[in-house]
Chain A
Amino acid sequence: MDDVKKKHILLSLESELSTKVEAILNDCDVELYTDELAKDKYDFVFDSNPSYEVENEETVLIISNDASNCLHSVLSPELLDNDVVQVALKRFVGEDSTIHLESEAASEAYKTFKITDPFSIGHYLDIVSSTTYKESGEFKDISNSFVNIANYYIQDVKALPIDVDMIVSKEMSVLQFHSAITDSMDCQVPESILRGISANLVDVYFIEKTRELVISLTWINGSTSKAFLKHHLNGFRKSTANNKIYENFEKLLAMSKENVEYTPSKEKGESKSSFASIKKIIDFIKGQKDSNPDFYEFSEALSQYPNKEVVSGLAQEDIDFIQKVVGTPEVYNSVNSTVKGKREDLAAGDDIAQRIAGALEEMESFEAIGLFSDEDEAYKKISGVTDNQSEDSHLVKEFASDFEALTKVSGGEKQEDENQLVKGSKEDLKEETTVISGSREEVDDKWKVKRSEIAEKVREEVQKLVSIGDSDQEEIEQRVKSIVKDELSLDDKTAEVFNESILNSASSTSLGENLGSASGEEIFLKLENDRLKGQVSKKMDQILRMKRIIDSMKADFIAKKEAEMALKEKIKESGDASIEGRYKAAEIQIAALLKEVSINETRIEQLVKGHEHTLKNKEHRMQLLEEKISDLKEKSLEASESPESKAKLAELETENKNLSNQLKITNERFETISKKYDKEVTNAPTQFQGNDSGLQTLLDKEKDKNIALQQQINEMKKTILTTEKAEEANQEVSPSEHESNLKVKELEIQLKASGLETKKYEQKIKFMTSQMNELEKKLKKVAAKAGKSNGGGKAGADLKTKRLEKNLEKINQLNDKVQADLTERKKDLHKAKQENTIMSNKVADLERKLAKYEKKAA
């Protein structure tokens, strides 16, 4: 029997998720950890980051909704509530289970059969399809998956027979395959097969003891969440036969098709309209609404859309989507920005020339006319009519019914004699009326010719740009604009409008193609989802960058601290080192401090900006999501109880939850980063303190120096006294007197220098104090803003505020100390100055006396 070792699992998840997983695995033979430092190595790691890198051969499970291309096993958090998924999760961590589905099934829903012939898949496909259809009315997904997996076993893995167990009920459908395989490497089911499976849960595992490869697919009705588990197991340790279902075993063997009649359901409004055409209708109706808001009515505006064929092809959900977009400015702007945002992808594609030309070719005449500010001008430009001709046309219009006017029509104003023949000259009349009337069909024809010409030119020019390699998006767009401007003789403003319309149309078409035959709303929601996901990933990148910055700052801080310690030791060792040396050391420290202060300032600015930006985005996102939810809720209430509506609602709700969760995670990470920053800030004052003590030391030494100077001055006094005595005795001035004068001078110089130094220290202290004050202010600001933005963590905000207050207190205390020292030094300086002046006066007296003596001597 195998050793039953407890499995050690690290849960690197949000607290809510972590709690859920703990509850599920509560009765399993596992040890759960939330602190990665608790052990060196784990058997399993449950994480929410799809980019998790394996460190010690641990088995990884990513619990997240955003892990589509992840290499590890993946589980959507919403599925954790499902019983089947919970069983699969327990099996994943090594709990006992069974390869036979019957142990988990009620007898009515369970069927089994074996595929022993490679060409018998069709027979059992019929059984699977008919059984599934009988129960749930659908069978497409399950049928496709059945064929894919059966073929995988037979052709890829070369395994026969295949045991297939099936459960089909209203709540869920399960297909489970197992067969003994020769090569354990074959249990890597290729991605190409897995991508074709639409099941909510795909569980692939290999049992070493018996070499059974099991692939289990579960479809949960009403759920769009996904899970993919892949793992190796040594084996199971229990018998799990379900005796109840054997009472009527004959019914369990699925040898024949179910007797069920297939009636195709009326497909409810499957969208046949492309996203591009829906977008055009949206723009048209929006234009109608904006131009005449008082008399706007949606259905009337829709009926006025010139392309009736497109309108008739709209599904009800497309119409609802259009109405919603037109009716909600924020959604309309969001659609536009999404389409515009995708133009970058268009520029990056190889077929941009074809796409833009194609968009032009699909532009209807009414669309083109709508882009002009004036309809008459539009007709002229499209028709290629000049200004002169247009004047004549205008005259003719007015007098069209008049015979005299007709006479003018054919030849012009001056040729009256010839006009007698006008009535008969049909050709002339016809030409003029063609130009004048501007009937829609005629304009259409002219526009078609014109647009083809422009499209061809655009195609050539853009292709040239792309082939040269000069395929900058802006340049391409500018080139298209200039071509359109030239060809249609447009002013700059109209050309810009035209250009935007063409490019957006190309972008919409490209989007619609990429997203298949989904309805407009589905496409929009998918795009919106992608956009928000993109924003979230950008935010994640920002966070990672911030983290890196903080890590590097940490390293810098540690290095500086070490350097400072070394410097202090050096200073201590140097003892009677020169004042200059000490001064230099102080300078170095101060320079380092200043540098840190500037770094902290920039960091604070970044944090503040980041916070503000996040807050804005969050609010905007929440707003959009709330709108979405309210719209969808209304829609679901109106719509019938169909699986599609339910599924869509569930999908949107899950999306909403997912995005909210992601935002929560983002906020939490911001909080941790802020906390880390706070730690750094709290350490900063200690650095000041340390520096303060360094400065203090210097100032103390300066004091000592002053004392020494004072002593020297006293000695000098004595010397002067003796000199005076000598003078009284009429003795000649000895060389020692000169020396004493020189010494006095030296002392004066030193005193001056000391005074200068003291001044310098004062200035530096002032500067540092001002820096500290600024830092204090900024910290207060950050604390205030952090308190506002971190609505989800009031306790965290309070803690932060307290920390900031503590920091502030420390800084204030420090400031007070420095101020006290400064005043003392000032006092000392004043004393020294006074003494200096006294000494100077005495020296002056002595000099005068000397001069006297010299004279006398002379």
Chain B
Amino acid sequence: MTERSVNLEELLEHKLLWGDLLWEKKNGKTTCIGSCGDFADIEFIEKLVKKEANLKINSYTDWKLVKDICETFKSLESCENEKERVAVRESFVGPFLETFLSQEKGSYIDWFTICFRTFYKLPEDIEEIYYMKNSEALKRSMAVASMTTLIAFTLGHLNFDFLQKIYNCTLIMDLDFVIQGMSEYHMRDLEKQRVSDDPSLDGRLLSLFKHHGANVNEYINRIANGEQSLINMVKFHHEQFNCGAGPEGIFDSEVGDLPQIISFVERLIPYKSFNLSDGDATGSLTTHMEKIDGYHRIKSILRTELKGAA
């Protein structure tokens, strides 16, 4: 972590906070006005800047890693054939798994930032919905979208445009829930359901919204031209494929990889108190990953690739 001053231009450029944004008041007290991974509240920051406030950021981001991987994805975008894409994947997988699964190196914010800078293309009106109703939900969706996209790439989805669609479709997976009033209480219940052994979405508040994944097709049409594989991915993101206990009752024998990846990540990323800056965030994720039933394919590739990288 490094703490340093930050100006408005830099914040405008990044949009997303790469560390905790601190306001050093004239009385010497420091207030956190934005957490690592939040969208910068530009309006408020502009006001502070007008009043000549002193702003600092304690960065958790490994900018070299971010820069390198962003370059990697840029080269992926410009690849002319599959052989080149395979080569790009090979250069990506090692660092990804090393930082992702290791408790010592890297943090979630790196990959969060990489994916935001590389893939983020959410339409403004949808962004607005999140800002107005539940920006925490967007942040969490971005966390899920990042890991989903990166695992999909690792498992062989090599087309850059398709990866971008995966990322942005994942961002809207809870949009219907948000539109219908997903609140802090819902997120708490969802968190309980995520970490408990009870696989069913049977909370009183949640049961009304269990098919929210199926109600965002119009947005998927805008982002991904209605591709069925992405519709399935979003629709089945709450499924529990090893036992068919999700809202749609789907088993892993009936779906491809993408729904299984998003469902796995959905159960991995916390709804509440997910600290992207936490140095051992990935460590806790790894621990939790072991507890999730099923998803052997995904777990296996993550473990195996790490062995290979080591």
Contacts and interface: CB of A to CB of B under 8 A. Distances in A.
A211 B252 CA distance: 14
A255 B305 contact: no
B4 to A, nearest CB: 41
Interface stretch (B28-36, B118-126, B133-141, B292-300): B292-300
Interface in A246-289: 246-250, 253, 255-256
Contacts of A211: 228, 232
A120 B81 contact: yes
A120 B259 CA distance: 23
Nearest to A213: B228
A240 interface: yes
A765 B115 CA distance: 106
A236 interface: yes
Contacts of B83: 123
A250 B81 CA distance: 22
A239 B293 CA distance: 12
B155 interface: yes
Given A117-B159, A178-B256, A239 B251 contact: yes
B284 interface: no
B182 interface: no
Given A180-B229, A250-B308, A163 B256 contact: yes
A238 B253 CA distance: 7
B301 A250 contact: yes
Contacts of A237: 244, 251
Contact of B81 (A112, A123, A247): A123
B42 interface: no
A237 B250 CA distance: 8
Contacts of A723: none
A113 B228 contact: no
B82 A117 contact: yes
A116 B258 CA distance: 12
Contacts of B181: none
B250 A235 contact: yes
A650 to B, nearest CB: 34
A100 to B, nearest CB: 7
A311 to B, nearest CB: 50
B305 A160 contact: no
Chain A interface: which size bin? 35 or more
A209 interface: yes
Interface stretch (A45-53, A91-99, A192-200, A679-687): A91-99
B180 interface: no
Interface residues of B, number: 43
Contacts of B250: 209-210, 235
Nearest to A178: B256
A207 interface: yes
A99 B159 contact: no
A248 B304 contact: yes
A334 interface: no
A124 interface: yes
Interface string B226-267: 111101100010000111100011111111110100000000
B244 A1 contact: yes
B296 A243 contact: yes
A582 interface: no
Contact of B155 (A2, A98, A103, A253): A253
Given A241-B252, A241-B297, A181 B228 contact: yes
A807 interface: no
Nearest to A208: B254
A246 B255 CA distance: 18
Contacts of B229: 159-161, 179-180
B66 interface: no
Interface in A210-236: 210-212, 235-236
A611 interface: no
A825 interface: no
A176 B113 CA distance: 37
A120 B82 contact: yes
Contacts of A182: 226-228
A247 B243 CA distance: 22
Nearest to B228: A180
B228 A209 contact: no
B252 A240 contact: yes
Contacts of A161: 157, 159, 162, 229, 256
Nearest to A120: B82
A210 B252 CA distance: 11
Nearest to B80: A119
B158 interface: yes
Given A117-B159, A180-B256, A239 B86 contact: no
A209 B241 CA distance: 13
A408 interface: no
Nearest to B158: A116
Given A209-B250, A240-B253, A180 B232 contact: yes
A72 interface: no
Nearest to A112: B156
Given A239-B243, A249-B297, A256 B255 contact: no
B306 to A, nearest CB: 11
Given A160-B227, A239-B242, A250-B305, A209 B248 contact: yes
A209 B159 CA distance: 27
Interface string A17-53: 0000000000000000000000000000000000000
A803 B256 CA distance: 64
Nearest to B227: A160
Contacts of B212: none
A134 B257 CA distance: 28
A99 B253 contact: yes
Given A181-B228, A182-B226, A209 B257 contact: no
Contacts of A179: 228-229, 256
B194 interface: no
B246 to A, nearest CB: 12
Nearest to A181: B228
A852 to B, nearest CB: 123
16 contacts: A98-B252, A100-B253, A117-B82, A119-B81, A160-B162, A161-B159, A209-B249, A238-B253, A239-B242, A239-B243, A240-B251, A246-B301, A247-B304, A249-B300, A253-B301, A255-B86
Given A120-B158, A239-B253, 20 more contacts: A1-B244, A96-B253, A98-B252, A99-B256, A103-B253, A116-B162, A119-B81, A123-B82, A163-B256, A179-B229, A180-B256, A209-B248, A209-B250, A238-B253, A239-B244, A239-B252, A249-B300, A249-B301, A249-B304, A256-B86
> Nearest 4 CB-CB pairs, A to B?
A246-B300, A123-B82, A98-B253, A116-B159
